Structure 1
């Protein structure tokens, strides 16, 4: 009887949320920046001249994810995947808003044209903010949304379809989130209908940091979740004059410093409020960098590592041991179940979810119970190699499904991190298995296909 009671106690403990062990419900802060690739933060050790000391502070206090991936090589699909826990292919939002169905790649005459992609996040889809609201959390969205309609830069205020703004997905408040994919102005007046002008000339990132600080201070005595998605470091590159001068008249590096200063203000406020110990803080990016990384191939828009890999570091002193790292691949859909489960909620009834809870990694596990990650980008994009196509990542193996635009490719990332050598001829069984796996996944999520109708010669034999 004692043996069975012990088993029951162990089973209960294994599935009990962290906060039930004598602590209060944990808070969470999700910081996702824009167009920042690996190699442009100092915690990955690639460039000692980069000035991001607060990210280094997070790395010292928490865990670095050396193989973090975005759900897409461009921004809107990744943002949708984070909110819903669903892949861009399942949502039907597979490129940045607005999409361009029918567009063709200038380098591939007669090749397939873009698949359709929706221009807003459907309201009926899951949202981690809604789930957290059910659990009694105060929630706020601050920053870039880019999931609410097309043509925003032609508007006066970035508002196209306000019914798709963050406040309709479970966020109590929304400051800055509209249809904009980039700010119309980096300085007040911001020309943003969801962010009131207040101090002429104030830098946008500073203002968003102020709003984040105010939210934390106002909600420190109750469980809260803050989604802070700054517009840094998206083009056009603009920064305050003092930071510009301090960074050798380099706008991009000045924007990095401004971003890091904002993160520092958030960390300082959590500490001053006495809640940092039990607050998960995530730093992440929405896709690979607009500026390429020296030790990865390609950049934003490409399905090579430089377009999909992103910097990521997390802190949660009550749970995560400082100065640690993991090489386990993770993706955008993983944040939904992580935020909900750590807060005491369940996702059992949300059948659409494709992500996994990251808690085992936070507690020191070597890997998740997952073999593969998948991508689908049925769109043409000039200026990068390997844009239209699909990907299967299975540990060290990466298979690129060329969709008829380019030949299929197989890389071994452990031996060839720069993706220079196609080993498909020496590993045909591996390539065939991964191709079938990718096609099965595409079918399971009902992914939209590129349009091959005008030139059957370009259609891969498997799709004819």
Structure 2
């Protein structure tokens, strides 16, 4: 190459290299920790009881933003998990209830009431996946923990594998440890009887193991843009924990499980620090639905469309973007993670027309609203064994309507004045109830929600 040509070539080459380096550095690592059945009030950062010991979750909260009105897309786990992966509501996906542990485990309708609407028993492969979108942006991706989106009848299987075609590795994750059809551990201690986890040490606790696997992934990929979905089985039943932790928590197994879960989060934080990747990592902590244990100050718990069943703890840390020690009162939900992750990675969601979530970055940067008028829920299923019945809900501002789909009475609440949802204002504000009922019906129609037989849209 001639000298003049070389001189003309070098600036362009240097610019391209600098641009490439800058782009890579600008891509944050994304760690999404979603625990199981943990309601607000059971972690340190939301004013929990003094006996709860979750210092690592407190650290995430202090270094970032706490979301005081974080919601799950459903009252139970499988539909929320599907919503997180796809950015679509469970109603649009067609997966609206938890996938049964035993095949054919259909719950009967209340006397004289409608039977359940149909629901899928796996997440369809053609659905969008944030992991696939992150792969397009050059990320290495891993799934570690509970999936519960791959077929029914897992409790009758020998290893939790019902249909491996629907495991995480077929949704854009480069590796999968723990993700199968199981909705709960079987058992909590090694040997795990989980076909996606290699037994390592007899008696080892599953939460500890998943934390170790998360550390190994971070260490192996410290020089790359990486995404980790760490979805521990904690704190789902059966309530079990290592003996020494139970003893140190005064014999309380649930508190011991919380401490173990927090310790796994601590391993992740330590690994991010040790590898020098913490300062370029968006770290999300979230739960898949309301608590197995009731939340003080909120009505009901997991399985209910009242606040205790769909409100969840959430904290996000992202150095350089989120101001430490901040909080947000804007309602957010499970579908919002898809666009948030993809946009942060430099990707686009313009062609994903079925997307229902919104990018949370404006809130991270201190804005106090999103371009969304309301949040919606659709649960066309009966669970009389735990006294929960089908219904839908819509939240707009301080107003929340519960539509009982003819199984139980409708209700209208003002959450600002009545956070425990004790006073039904339906007869006091019929126009507001009609407005919200109309919005809920219009939303169901727009996304093709399946209704129970004999229940009109």
Q: TM-score, structure 1 length as denominator?
A: 0.92
| Cα contact 1:104–1:112 (8 A) shared by 2 | no
**1:114-155: per-residue Cα shift (whole Å, max 9, x none)?**
111010000000000000001100000000000000010111
Q: Distance in 2 between matches of 1:442 and 1:24?
A: 39
**1:193-245: per-residue Cα shift (whole Å, max 9, x none)?**
00001111110001100100000011110100000000000000110111010
Q: Distance in 1 between matches of 2:37 and 2:220?
A: 30
**1:241-299: per-residue Cα shift (whole Å, max 9, x none)?**
11010111111110000000000110111111111111000000000011111211000
Give the secondary structure class of the aligned counterpart of 1:199: coil
**1:303-323: per-residue Cα shift (whole Å, max 9, x none)?**
000000000011111211111
Instruction: Indicate the residue corresponding to 1:411 in structure 2.
Output: 413
Q: Distance in 2 between matches of 1:159 and 1:55?
A: 32
In the TM superposition, residue 188 of structure 1 has moved relative to its aligned partner by 0.8
| Cα contact 1:302–1:385 (8 A) shared by 2 | no
In the TM superposition, residue 427 of structure 1 has moved relative to its aligned partner by 1.1
1:103 corresponds to which of 102, 107, 113:
107
Residue 126 to residue 100, structure 1, CA distance change in 2 (3 Å): same
In the TM superposition, residue 103 of structure 1 has moved relative to its aligned partner by 3.3
Q: Distance in 1 between matches of 2:360 and 2:430?
A: 33
Q: Distance in 2 between matches of 1:415 and 1:335?
A: 30
Q: Does 1:367 align with 2:369?
A: yes
Instruction: Indicate the residue corresponding to 2:28 in structure 1.
Output: 26
Alignment of 1:335-346 (within 5 A): 335-346=337-348
Q: Distance in 1 between matches of 2:104 and 2:389?
A: 14
In the TM superposition, residue 425 of structure 1 has moved relative to its aligned partner by 1.2
Instruction: Indicate the residue corresponding to 2:143 in structure 1.
Output: 141
2:441 corresponds to which of 439, 442, 460:
439
Q: Distance in 1 between matches of 2:78 and 2:396?
A: 25
Instruction: Indicate the residue corresponding to 1:6 in structure 2.
Output: none
**1:411-441: per-residue Cα shift (whole Å, max 9, x none)?**
0000000000011111111110111110011
In the TM superposition, residue 109 of structure 1 has moved relative to its aligned partner by 1.1
**1:47-100: per-residue Cα shift (whole Å, max 9, x none)?**
122110111111111100011000000000000000000000000000000286
Give the secondary structure class of the aligned counterpart of 1:112: coil
Instruction: Indicate the residue corresponding to 2:252 in structure 1.
Output: 250
Q: Distance in 2 between matches of 1:363 and 1:223?
A: 22
Q: Does 1:295 align with 2:272?
A: no
Q: TM-score, structure 2 length as denominator?
A: 0.93
1:58 corresponds to which of 35, 39, 60:
60
Q: Distance in 2 between matches of 1:175 and 1:22?
A: 27
| Cα contact 1:29–1:279 (8 A) shared by 2 | yes
Q: Distance in 2 between matches of 1:195 and 1:100?
A: 27
| Cα contact 1:101–1:114 (8 A) shared by 2 | no
Alignment of 1:277-426 (within 5 A): 277-382=279-384, 387-426=389-428
Instruction: Indicate the residue corresponding to 1:88 in structure 2.
Output: 90
Alignment of 1:106-121 (within 5 A): 108-121=110-123
1:128 corresponds to which of 130, 135, 150:
130
Q: Distance in 1 between matches of 2:119 and 2:287?
A: 22
| Cα contact 2:389–2:408 (8 A) shared by 1 | no
In the TM superposition, residue 104 of structure 1 has moved relative to its aligned partner by 2.7
> 4+ residue runs of structure 1 moved beyond 3 angstroms?
19-24, 99-103, 383-387
Residue 337 to residue 30, structure 1, CA distance change in 2 (3 Å): same
Instruction: Indicate the residue corresponding to 1:267 in structure 2.
Output: 269
Give the secondary structure class of the aligned counterpart of 1:79: helix
Residue 385 to residue 426, structure 1, CA distance change in 2 (3 Å): farther
Aligned length: 436
Residue 129 to residue 327, structure 1, CA distance change in 2 (3 Å): same
Q: Distance in 2 between matches of 1:419 and 1:68?
A: 17
Unpaired runs of 5+ in structure 1? 1-18, 453-458
Q: Distance in 1 between matches of 2:414 and 2:26?
A: 45
Unpaired runs of 5+ in structure 2? 1-20
2:182 corresponds to which of 163, 180, 183:
180
Residue 46 to residue 372, structure 1, CA distance change in 2 (3 Å): same
Give the secondary structure class of the aligned counterpart of 2:384: coil
Q: Distance in 2 between matches of 1:60 and 1:360?
A: 19
Q: Distance in 1 between matches of 2:304 and 2:409?
A: 15
Alignment of 1:200-215 (within 5 A): 200-215=202-217
Alignment of 1:146-157 (within 5 A): 146-157=148-159
